[in-house]
Structure 1
Amino acid sequence: MLCGHLTSNTYKHPQAPPSARKDKTVTMEASLQVALNLTAPVEAVAAQEFDYVIAGGGTAGLVLAARLTEDPNVTVCVLEAGSDNLNEPEILIPHRMNIGNPKIDWGFKTVPQLYADNQVAPWSRGKGLGGSSALNMCLYQRPSAFDIDAIGRLGNPGWNWDRFLEYAKKSETFQLPTPEEAEKHHFYTNPEYHGTNGPLRAGFRSTSAECSLLFQKTLNNLDIEVQKDHMGGKPCGTWVDPATIDKETGSRSYAANAYYAPNISRKNLTVLIGALVHKVTFSSTRSNEDVQATGVAFTYDGKNFEVKARKEVIVSAGALKSPQILELSGVGDPKVLKPLGIDVHVELPGVGENLQEHNAVVITFELTDSDRWVTRDAVQFNPELAAEHLALYRSTGEGLYSMSRGIIAFSPLKTLNPKAAEDMIASIEAKIQEQKDPALREQWALQLDAMKNDDVPDCELLGSPNYVPAAHPPNIKKKYFTVCGIHNRTLSRGTIHITSTNPVNHADIDPHSLEQDEDMVMILEIMKFIRKLPETEPFKGMVAKELNPGPECVTDQDMRTYIKKYLRTSWHTAGTCSMLPRDKGGVVDSRLKVYGTTNVRVVDLSVIPLHIMAHTQATVYALAEQAADIIKGVI
Structure 2
Amino acid sequence: MVEAEEFDYVVVGAGSAGCVVAARLTEDPTVTVALVEAGGPDDHPAIGVPLGALELFGSEVDWAFTTAPQPGLGGREVPWPRGRVHGGSSATNFQMWVPGHAADFDDWHPSWSWERVHPYFRRAERWAGEREAGPEFGTAGPLWISPQRDPDPSSTRFLDACAEVGLKPVEGGLGGPDNTGCALTPVTQREGVRWSSADGYLKPASGRPNLTVLSGRRAERIMLDPDGRATGVRLADRAVTARREVVLCAGSVGSPHLLLLSGIGPADELRAVGVTPRVDLPGVGRGLHDHMILDLAVHAPDATRFLQDGREQYERDRTGPLSSNIGEAVAFLRADGGDGPPDVELIWSPMAFSDDGDPIPGYTVGVVLLRPRSRGRLTLASADPAAPPVIDPGYLAEEADVRTYVAGVRFAERVLGAAALRDLHTGPVVPWPADDAVADYVRERATTVFHPVGSCRMGDVVDERLRVRGVPGLRVVDASVIPEAPRGHTHAHAVMIAERAAGLLREDRG
Q: Identity over the aligned pairs, expressed in percent? A: 32
Q: Does 1:267 align with 2:223?
A: no
- Aligned partner of 1:410 in structure 2 is 332
Q: For the residues of structure 1 that align with 2:265 and 2:132, how far apart are their CA atoms?
A: 43
RMSD: 1.9
1:158 pairs with one of 108, 111, 129: 111
The offset of 1:52, in angstroms, is: 0.2
Q: For the residues of structure 2 that align with 1:206 and 1:241, how far apart are their CA atoms?
A: 10
Letter of the aligned partner of 2:216 in structure 1? G
Contact 2:102–2:177 at 8 Å: present in 1 too?
A: yes
2:287 pairs with one of 332, 354, 367: 354
- Aligned partner of 1:506 in structure 2 is 388
After TM superposition, the structure 1 = structure 2 runs for residues 119-518 of structure 1, keeping only pairs within 5 Å, are 119-151=76-108, 156-177=109-130, 189-190=132-133, 192-229=135-172, 230-247=174-191, 250-284=192-226, 286=227, 291-299=228-236, 304-367=237-300, 369-370=301-302, 373=303, 375-376=305-306, 378-379=307-308, 385=309, 389-403=310-324, 405-415=327-337, 454-470=339-355, 476=360, 479-518=361-400
Q: Does the C-alpha gap of structure 1 residues 192 and 114 become closer, same or farther in structure 2, counting only changes over 3 Å?
A: closer
Contact 1:80–1:275 at 8 Å: present in 2 too?
A: yes
Letter of the aligned partner of 2:375 in structure 1? R
Letter of the aligned partner of 2:331 in structure 1? A
Q: For the residues of structure 1 that align with 2:275 and 2:214, how far apart are their CA atoms?
A: 27
The offset of 1:561, in angstroms, is: 2.3
Q: Does the C-alpha gap of structure 1 residues 466 and 293 become closer, same or farther in structure 2, counting only changes over 3 Å?
A: same
Q: For the residues of structure 1 that align with 2:434 and 2:135, how far apart are their CA atoms?
A: 46
Q: For the residues of structure 2 that align with 1:127 and 1:394, how far apart are their CA atoms?
A: 26
Letter of the aligned partner of 2:225 in structure 1? S
- Aligned partner of 1:4 in structure 2 is none
1:555 pairs with one of 429, 432, 435: 435
Contact 1:201–1:244 at 8 Å: present in 2 too?
A: yes
The offset of 1:323, in angstroms, is: 0.5
The offset of 1:244, in angstroms, is: 0.1
- Aligned partner of 2:444 in structure 1 is 565
| Greater displacement, 156-165 / 516-525 | 156-165
Q: For the residues of structure 1 that align with 2:16 and 2:78, how far apart are their CA atoms?
A: 23
Q: For the residues of structure 1 that align with 2:161 and 2:274, how far apart are their CA atoms?
A: 59
The number of residues matched between the two structures is: 506
The offset of 1:92, in angstroms, is: 0.6
The offset of 1:631, in angstroms, is: 0.6
| Greater displacement, 257-266 / 93-102 | 93-102
The offset of 1:374, in angstroms, is: 6.1
Q: Does the C-alpha gap of structure 1 residues 534 and 58 become closer, same or farther in structure 2, counting only changes over 3 Å?
A: closer
Q: Does the C-alpha gap of structure 1 residues 189 and 127 become closer, same or farther in structure 2, counting only changes over 3 Å?
A: farther
After TM superposition, the structure 1 = structure 2 runs for residues 554-633 of structure 1, keeping only pairs within 5 Å, are 554-557=434-437, 559-580=438-459, 586-633=460-507
Contact 1:360–1:523 at 8 Å: present in 2 too?
A: no
Q: For the residues of structure 2 that align with 1:531 and 1:88, how far apart are their CA atoms?
A: 38
Q: For the residues of structure 2 that align with 1:80 and 1:474, how far apart are their CA atoms?
A: 34
- Aligned partner of 2:7 in structure 1 is 50
The offset of 1:101, in angstroms, is: 3.4
1:63 pairs with one of 12, 20, 25: 20
| TM-score, structure 2 as length reference | 0.95
Contact 1:193–1:231 at 8 Å: present in 2 too?
A: no
Q: For the residues of structure 2 that align with 1:175 and 1:473, how far apart are their CA atoms?
A: 34
The offset of 1:191, in angstroms, is: 6.5
Give unpaired runs (5+ residues) of structure 1.
Answer: 1-42, 178-187, 380-384, 419-453, 581-585
Q: For the residues of structure 2 that align with 1:99 and 1:491, how far apart are their CA atoms?
A: 30
Letter of the aligned partner of 2:128 in structure 1? Q
Report the secondary structure of 2:247's partner residue.
strand
Q: For the residues of structure 2 that align with 1:560 and 1:231, how far apart are their CA atoms?
A: 32
- Higher gyration radius (CA): 1
Q: For the residues of structure 2 that align with 1:190 and 1:618, how far apart are their CA atoms?
A: 21
Q: Does 1:519 align with 2:475?
A: no
Letter of the aligned partner of 2:500 in structure 1? Q
* Residues 91-146 of structure 1: CA deviation (Å, up to 9, x unaligned): 01122213433311000000111121100000100001110000100011111111
Contact 1:234–1:455 at 8 Å: present in 2 too?
A: no
The offset of 1:350, in angstroms, is: 0.1
Q: Does the C-alpha gap of structure 1 residues 215 and 78 become closer, same or farther in structure 2, counting only changes over 3 Å?
A: same
Give unpaired runs (5+ residues) of structure 2.
Answer: none
Contact 1:338–1:344 at 8 Å: present in 2 too?
A: yes
Letter of the aligned partner of 1:532 in structure 2? R
1:106 pairs with one of 51, 60, 63: 63
2:46 pairs with one of 83, 87, 90: 90
Q: For the residues of structure 2 that align with 1:366 and 1:469, how far apart are their CA atoms?
A: 10
- Aligned partner of 1:532 in structure 2 is 414
Q: For the residues of structure 2 that align with 1:535 and 1:103, how far apart are their CA atoms?
A: 41
The offset of 1:481, in angstroms, is: 0.9
The offset of 1:365, in angstroms, is: 1.0
Contact 1:294–1:309 at 8 Å: present in 2 too?
A: yes
Report the secondary structure of 2:199's partner residue.
helix
The offset of 1:169, in angstroms, is: 0.8
Report the secondary structure of 1:319's partner residue.
helix
Q: For the residues of structure 1 that align with 2:273 and 2:350, how far apart are their CA atoms?
A: 49
The offset of 1:474, in angstroms, is: 6.4
The offset of 1:413, in angstroms, is: 1.8
Letter of the aligned partner of 1:233 in structure 2? P
Report the secondary structure of 1:632's partner residue.
helix
Q: For the residues of structure 2 that align with 1:157 and 1:137, how far apart are their CA atoms?
A: 31
Q: For the residues of structure 2 that align with 1:604 and 1:239, how far apart are their CA atoms?
A: 27
